[in-house]
Amino acid sequence: MNIILLGPPGAGKGTQARRLVEERDMIQLSTGDMLREAKDSGTEMGEKVAKVMAAGQLVTDEIVIGLIEEKLQGDNAGGFIFDGFPRTLPQADALGELLTKYNNTLDVVVEMQVDDEALVNRITGRFTCGGCGEVYHDDTKRPAKEGVCDVCGKSDMKRRADDNADALRTRLMEYYKKTSPLIGYYYAKGDLKSINGLGEIEDVAALIKTALN
Ligand code: ADP
Ligand code: ADP
Ligand code: ZN
């Protein structure tokens, strides 16, 4: 089963994707993670996109479509979870074409609805384990031991450069201008399931489970 998690920055896409990886052996394809990896490993492409990402703008369709195509050629185990991709209509069209090219299909698009006020709170409180990528929050998801990852035990918590109020405003604007039209696009295609993403992590996980069954 291949699915898209669609929603604004901070909606909880990464958090829920990691659960699905654990529970269903699915593969998380997060273009944000891929771009940050490229940036950290100092590739030419990574350097090119670093400024764009820090400002909260979208990087070019060409770059992210290229990243996704590479992954679609690999193993797909329990299916792909597209997390943070597609983010524009051309990306959505390209995904459809690539899935066909590699003999795959899209099953469900889960739209996670979270209101703007809650997003600001989620983004400004977010931190991530540098060892395994587990996502935490200052208020809603603290590790059992301060500064130590519950999952891998490392003490390497990181905050993202673009998780500040300024960049978030740009990211939200990008979302409403360029990504939110995808909700109508997938509704018209018949693939859309919208869920309330405001509840606790467990509750949202249960809603996603129902949407997938
Ligand atoms: P996205 O990938 O959509 O940007 P994340 O999964 O990184 O979102 O979540 C953003 C922040 O909100 C993180 O700090 C995460 O721990 C927290 N979070 C995720 N889901 C919930 C939830 N249902 N309730 C409260 N906080 C949440
Ligand atoms: P969030 O967790 O807030 O939704 P991501 O980690 O998905 O953010 O993305 C971080 C940044 O990476 C975006 O603000 C954008 O600059 C870039 N990015 C990620 N995915 C895409 C994409 N599909 N198209 C264009 N830019 C992207
Ligand atoms: Zn960890």
Average pLDDT, the chain: 96
Residue 74: pLDDT band with limits 50, 70, 90: confident
Our mutation pick for probing the ligand 2 site, out of 87, 91, 95, 124, counting the most ligand atoms within 8 A of Cβ, is 87
pLDDT of residue 123: 95
> Helices then strands (H, E): number in the chain?
9, 8
Q: How far is the CA of 56 from the centre of ligand 3 (A)?
A: 25
**Do 181 and 17 touch, CB atoms closer than 8 A?**
no
Q: Could you report the per-residue pLDDT of 147-160, keeping only the tens digit for each?
A: 999 999 999 999 99
Ligand 3 center to 148 CA (angstroms) = 8
Single out the catalytic residue among 71, 160, 178, 209. Answer: 160
Q: For residue 56, is pLDDT > 90?
A: yes
Instruction: Check pLDDT > 90 for residue 208.
Output: yes
As a three-state string, the secondary structure of 133-170 is: CCEEECCCECCCCCCCCCCCCCCCEECCCCCCHHHHHH
pLDDT of residue 72: 94
Q: What are phi and psi of 195, to 5 degrees?
A: -130, 160
What is the DSSP-derived secondary structure letter of residue 176?
A: I
Active-site residue flag, 169: no
| pLDDT band at residue 102 under the 50/70/90 scheme | very high
Cα 76 to the center of its chain, rounded Å? 18
Ligand 1: which residue has its CA nearest to atom 14?
A: 126
Task: Tell me the percentage of the chain whose pLDDT exceeds 70.
Answer: 100
Q: What percent of the chain is modeled with pLDDT above 90? A: 92
> How confident is residue 75, by pLDDT bands cut at 50, 70 and 90?
confident
Q: Of all atoms in ligand 1, which is nearest to the CA of residue 15? A: 6
Locate 110 and state its tokens. Answer: 């889960």
Concerning whether 171 is annotated as a catalytic residue, the answer is yes
Contact, 188 vs 197, CB < 8 A? no
Choice from 83, 129, 137 to test ligand 1 binding pocket (greatest atom count within 8 A of CB): 137
Q: What is the pLDDT at residue 77? A: 83
Residues facing residue 171 across a β-bridge: none
Query: Taking 90 as the threshold, does the pLDDT of residue 210 lie above it?
Result: yes
Distance, in Å, from the CA atom of 110 to the CA atom of 112, rounded to the nearest integer, reads: 6
pTM exceeds 0.95 for this model: yes
